[in-house]
Structure 1
Amino acid sequence: MNSLSILVEQSMRLNPMDTSLYVFGNRRRDRIKILCWDGSGFWLMTKRLEASHFIWPDNKAEVVTMTSSVLHALLDGDDITTVRRHPKQEYLRVS
């Protein structure tokens, strides 16, 4: 827990005590750890797959931002690299 929070702070240059969830995967992609701060301490959640692996984004960036629905898809075993969302539309007026 301590080493992950230091990794977030020093390597990623992010605040481990904000409202974000920080998701880490191992090299074999059969384990995921999720680090979060609840205001009084850190939570560390771990999921280990027994017969499969998580399909991780092939993004070269160190930090990948995802929505909660994409995180749920990752934890459910879905291939999140193929998830395509509708583009966000922004309008200045309704009429």
Structure 2
Amino acid sequence: MIRPGTDLTVYLCREPVDMRKQIDGLALLVQEAMDLNPFEQALFVFGNRQRDKVKLLFWERNGFVVWYKRLERERFKWPTHLEGDTVTLTGQELNWLLDGVNLKAMQPHKALDFQQVG
């Protein structure tokens, strides 16, 4: 699985985002709503209202990369113990969040083992 380095700065948008947004819409959100530079060496994280989907946006030298994850069960545990509309995380905290860990309680989701789709 592709994961960001633990030394990367991560900005998490606390407000839910429409997951139909693609690169341009997410980059505009970073610039206008989060008041950050989408071209800096940082990872920008967005989640939907149900918190079962997440998109990550990253500028890589000559273009944007979008990474998308959908959970089959459970929900991402958005950090509620941190202040602000935009939360700064470490790369390690992001990896824990993607693994389903509640960053406040440090409790992960149960691992799922599927054998087929549908």
- TM-score of the superposed pair, with normalisation by structure 1: 0.83
Please state if 1:78 is matched with 2:101: yes
1:46 Cα deviation from its structure 2 partner:
0.3
Aligned with 1:23: secondary structure? strand
Aligned with 1:64: secondary structure? strand
- AA at the equivalent of 1:81: K
Structure 2 counterpart of 1:20: 42
1:30 Cα deviation from its structure 2 partner:
0.1
Structure 2 counterpart of 1:44: 66
- AA at the equivalent of 1:67: T
Unpaired stretches in structure 2, ≥5 consecutive residues = 1-22, 107-118
1:60 Cα deviation from its structure 2 partner:
5.2
1:29 aligns with one of 42, 51, 71 = 51
Unpaired stretches in structure 1, ≥5 consecutive residues = 84-95
- Map Cα deviations across residues 24-56 of structure 1 (whole Å, 9 max, x no partner): 010000001000000100000000001111000
Please state if 1:56 is matched with 2:56: no
Pick the structure with greater CA Rg.
1
1:67 aligns with one of 86, 90, 103 = 90
Higher relative contact order (CA 8 A, sep 6+): 2
Aligned residues: 83
Structure with the larger strand share: 2
CA distance in 1, matches of 2:43, 2:90: 10
Q: Is the 8 A contact 1:56 1:81 kept in 2?
A: no
- Aligned identity (percent) is 42
Structure with the larger helix share: 1
1:81 Cα deviation from its structure 2 partner:
2.0
